[in-house]
Structure 1
Amino acid sequence: MKQDKKVALLAINCLQGGGAERVVLTLGQGFYELGYEVHILRFKPRVEYDLNPNLIYHVLKFKPYKMIPGTQRRDKFFAHAVDRYVKKNIGQPDIILSNLDRSDSIFSYSSLPNIIYVIHNTLSLLYKFAKTDVGHQRKENFTRIYSKNPCACVSNGVEKDFVENFGHVTSTTAIHNPIDRDGIQKLADAFIPEYQNYIIHVGSFKEAKRHDVLLRAYAKTDQSLPLLLLGKGKLQSNTEALVAELNLEDKVVFLGFHENPFPYIKHAKFKVLTSDWEGFALVIAESLVLGTPVISTDCQSGPSELLPQKNLMPMRDIDAIAAKLSLAMKDPEQFHSEFSEALLPVTIAKKYIEFASNVNNTDKRS
C-alpha cells in the first residue's frame, strides 16, 4: 500500500553527464530529506552517475515515438503517454519539476497539474536567439512552451534573460541550484592527484567556456603554475592546436573527462572560469565547498551571484584576465570565498515548494 507521503516528480531526458542531470539527483535528495517520496523520470536509459538509493527511478523511452512525423505532434503523443504512465505508476505528484528543453517541450502538452519548468541556462545566448534564423524560430517555440507553466530560473541572471526575451508570459522566480556539500567533500577525498601546485579549469570544450581566451591570457603570465584542463568536448582538438601554437605544451595538461573531478578541484591552488555565459556556474559553488579559491569572468549570470567583485574579470578581456591570473598565482588565498549554506539541498527544495504554493494560490485567486 502506498505511503501517505507528498510526492515530488523530477523529469529530465537522461542522466548522462551534465550539470543539470547532477542537479536533479541532488535536488531529489533535498525533497527526500523533507519527507517526500521522490521519483525521477527520464526518457532515455543512459546513466553516468551513481544513482541515489533514496530516490525511485523510471524510464519511459521516447525512442519509439520518433517514428511519428512532426516534432510538436510527436511530443504531444508522447506527453499523453507520460501522463498515463505517471497516473498509473506514481499517482498525483504534489510538484513536478521539468528539466531542460526536451522534457519542457513534452510537459508543455501535459494535462498533469503542479508542473514547474526549471530553466538551467541563459537561453538567448545558448540558442543565439538574435543571431540566426534557427535561433529566432527556437525563441518562438520556447515562448509557446514556457507560457504553459511557471518557471524557476537557476540564477537571477537567467531569470532576467528569460523575462527580457519572453516577457511576462508566466510566473517566474530565481532559485539557485542545490549543492551536495557532504557528498562533494567525500568524493574529493577519493584520491590525491599526481599533480601539485596547479590551476584547474573544469568544463566541456565548447564555445561557451572560451578555452581560447583562457589560454591566450595564460600565455601572457609567467606560467609559474601549470594549467590543468579537465573535460571533453568537440572543441578539444582546436584547444590542443592553440596550446601548440602558443608553445604551452609543457605547461598545459589535458586531463580528459573524470566522473569525479573533485579531488582535482580540492588540491588546486585555484579554479579559473573564463566563460561567455553560464546558467548558475555549478563548478564555482562546488569549488567553494572544497575551500578552493575561484576567479571567473563576470558573465551574464551565475558568477556574480556566488563570488565577490574582486574575484571577477571582464569577459574576453585577455589582458585583464592575464593580470588576475598572475595575482592568483602569486597569492591564491586572496580570492578565497565562503560557501553559502543557503545552497544546501533541503533549503533549495523548500524554495521550490514555496514557489509552487505561491503560484497555486495566485491561480486560485485569479
Structure 2
Amino acid sequence: MKILFYNGSLRMGGAEKILVEILNGLDKKDKEIDLVISDNVLGENFFEKELPKEVKLTYLISSDLIEKTKFYKSRKKNIFYKIMYNYYMRREQKEKTINLAKFLKDKKYDVVVDFDMGLSKNIDLVDAKKRIAWIHSPIDSWYRKKDKIKRLGDRLKKYNTLVTICDDMKEKTEKLYPFLKDKLVRIYNPFDIEKIQDQSKDLSEITEEKRVLLKEGYIISVGRLDNYSKDYYTLLKGFKGAKERGLTEKLYILGEGEERKLIESWIDELDLKNDVILLGKYRNPYPWIKNAKLFVHSSRFEGLPTVLIEALICGVPVISSDCPTGPSEILKEGTIGLLYDVGDSETLKKQILELLKNSIEYKNYKERAIKRSLDFRKEISLELIEKELLEGK
C-alpha cells in the first residue's frame, strides 16, 4: 500500500508533533510511506530526527529561499521590504508547485493524507485512489473572508474523508459546509501516555542553572508567542490580579515566537519582571509541565489543544479559556478542569487563587486529569486512522 503524507513543516508545533506520532504509530508492514514537507527551515526541523526510518522525506521549498522571505518579512513595515516580501512569497509558492509536480510525476498512491490542508490547491496533481484531509482548527477562525471559506469548501469536495480532531469541530465544519457532512469523521489526536510520562522525568535538555527554576512554585503556560491566537495579555492580567491578592507562585511561559518583544513589553508594563519568566523553546516540555502547580491555557481559538491533554497526562490541574474548539470537550464542560470565558482576566484571577487555596479540590482535579487522559491514548486513535487509510483501498 502506497501512502503520501503532506504537511507544511516539521517545526515544533502541536500538529507536527501529532503527525510524527501517527507516522511512528502506524503499522508499516506492507506500506510504503512518502512524507512531503513544504518548508525546509534549517535549524527548525525539530521533528525530522523523530521520523521512522521507513518514511521517505522530501522538502519542496529550499531553505535559502525561506531565509530570504523571513528577512524581508521582519522588515516589511518599510514599503520596499514589503514589496520584496510579497515577491519572495510568490517565489515560494511557485517553487513549491514546481517541485511538487516534479516529485509526483509518474507516482501513483493508494491514499494521500493532506495533514494541514496545504495541499488542497494542488490536490489534482496527486494520483491517488483516496484523499484524506485533516482539519486541526475551526476553519472560520483562520479564514475570515467568506469568499475564501467558500473556495476552501469547493476544494474539500475533492476529498473522500475529512478528519476533524474533536466533536465540536466536526459540528462546526458540518454547519459551515453541510454538503460535506457524510465525509466528516472525528478522530482524537493520538498520545503516547507512557512516553510522555517518561519524558517528564528526563531533565537532560535543562541546564543545571535552569533546573533551579523547576523547584520553585510556579504556574505554566505553553504555546507559540502569538497574542492573536494565544491571548497572553489576558493571561498576564489574570496573573497580575492574583499576585495582588497574595499569590506567591511565579508564571513560566514556555514557547517562542515573533511577538516575544510585545509580550516582554506587557510584562514590563504590568510590573511583572520578577514574576514572569519566558523560558523559550524546548523539545521536551514535559518536565516543566509536570513540576508546575497549575497549567493555564488562554487561547482565543484552538483545534484540539495538544498541550491541554499533555498537562492532563502529567497530572497537572488545568484552567483554560472556553474557546472554540476543544477545551470544553477535553475538560468535559469544566468537570475535569476549570473554564473561563475568553478574555475574562477577572475570572481567571479568581480561579487561580481558589484552586491553589483549596487542597481538596486541587487533589480531585489532579486525579481527574490523569483518568481523563486515558481517553486519548494512542491505541484508540491509531486503530481508527488505520481503518480510514485501509477503507476503500
1:348 positional shift:
1.1
Q: Is the 1:15–1:48 Cα contact (8 Å) retained in structure 2?
A: yes
1:168 match: 179
1:357 positional shift:
5.7
2:74 match: none
Structure 1 pair 203/70, CA: closer, same or farther in 2 (3 Å)? closer
- Larger CA deviation: 36-45 vs 291-300: 36-45
| Aligned length, in residue pairs | 343
Return the alpha-carbon distance in structure 2 between the equivalents of residues 33 and 267 of structure 1: 36
Structure 1, gaps ≥5 residues long: 1-5, 130-134, 362-366
What letter corresponds to residue 147 of structure 1 in structure 2?
A: K
2:258 match: 234
Q: Is the 1:76–1:109 Cα contact (8 Å) retained in structure 2?
A: no
Structure 1 pair 215/69, CA: closer, same or farther in 2 (3 Å)? closer
1:48 positional shift:
1.1
Return the alpha-carbon distance in structure 2 between the equivalents of residues 341 and 55 of structure 1: 29
1:315 match: 342
Out of 285, 291, 294, the residue aligned to residue 267 of structure 1 is 291
2:140 match: 124
Q: Is the 2:117–2:133 Cα contact (8 Å) retained in structure 1?
A: no
1:188 match: 200
2:238 match: 217
Out of 37, 40, 45, the residue aligned to residue 35 of structure 2 is 40
What letter corresponds to residue 137 of structure 2 in structure 1?
A: N
Return the alpha-carbon distance in structure 2 between the equivalents of residues 69 and 205 of structure 1: 26
Q: Deviations over 1:267-326 (max 9, x none)?
A: 111111011111000001111111122111111111122113142222211211111111
What letter corresponds to residue 142 of structure 1 in structure 2?
A: L
Query: So what's the TM-score if we normalise by structure 1?
Result: 0.84
RMSD: 2.9
Q: Is the 1:328–1:334 Cα contact (8 Å) retained in structure 2?
A: no
Q: Is the 2:294–2:316 Cα contact (8 Å) retained in structure 1?
A: yes
Out of 11, 16, 24, the residue aligned to residue 29 of structure 1 is 24
Q: Is the 1:205–1:233 Cα contact (8 Å) retained in structure 2?
A: yes
1:201 match: 221
The answer to whether residue 149 in structure 2 is matched with residue 147 in structure 1 is no
Out of 158, 167, 175, the residue aligned to residue 169 of structure 2 is 158
Return the alpha-carbon distance in structure 1 between the equivalents of residues 122 and 237 of structure 2: 42
Return the alpha-carbon distance in structure 2 between the equivalents of residues 234 and 73 of structure 1: 25
The answer to whether residue 60 in structure 2 is matched with residue 61 in structure 1 is yes
Out of 374, 383, 393, the residue aligned to residue 341 of structure 1 is 374
What letter corresponds to residue 187 of structure 2 in structure 1?
A: I
Return the alpha-carbon distance in structure 2 between the equivalents of residues 72 and 228 of structure 1: 37
Return the alpha-carbon distance in structure 2 between the equivalents of residues 335 and 341 of structure 1: 15
Return the alpha-carbon distance in structure 2 between the equivalents of residues 202 and 276 of structure 1: 14
Return the alpha-carbon distance in structure 2 between the equivalents of residues 183 and 35 of structure 1: 26
Structure 1 pair 353/168, CA: closer, same or farther in 2 (3 Å)? farther
Return the alpha-carbon distance in structure 2 between the equivalents of residues 175 and 261 of structure 1: 24
SS in 2 for 1:145: helix
1:326 match: 353
1:351 match: 384
1:209 positional shift:
0.8
Q: Deviations over 1:94-150 (max 9, x none)?
A: x332111323333254231222001111121123x2xxxxx3342133112211102
Return the alpha-carbon distance in structure 2 between the equivalents of residues 304 and 323 of structure 1: 19
Identity %: 21
1:252 positional shift:
0.9
Return the alpha-carbon distance in structure 2 between the equivalents of residues 260 and 279 of structure 1: 21
Return the alpha-carbon distance in structure 1 between the equivalents of residues 346 and 266 of structure 2: 17
1:204 positional shift:
1.0
Q: Deviations over 1:245-278 (max 9, x none)?
A: 2111111111111121111001111111011111
SS in 1 for 2:282: coil
Structure 1 pair 16/72, CA: closer, same or farther in 2 (3 Å)? closer
What letter corresponds to residue 344 of structure 2 in structure 1?
A: D
1:355 positional shift:
3.8
SS in 2 for 1:57: strand
Return the alpha-carbon distance in structure 2 between the equivalents of residues 109 and 180 of structure 1: 34
Structure 2, gaps ≥5 residues long: 66-86
Return the alpha-carbon distance in structure 2 between the equivalents of residues 183 and 259 of structure 1: 14
Return the alpha-carbon distance in structure 2 between the equivalents of residues 212 and 297 of structure 1: 13
SS in 2 for 1:100: coil
- Larger CA deviation: 341-350 vs 169-178: 341-350
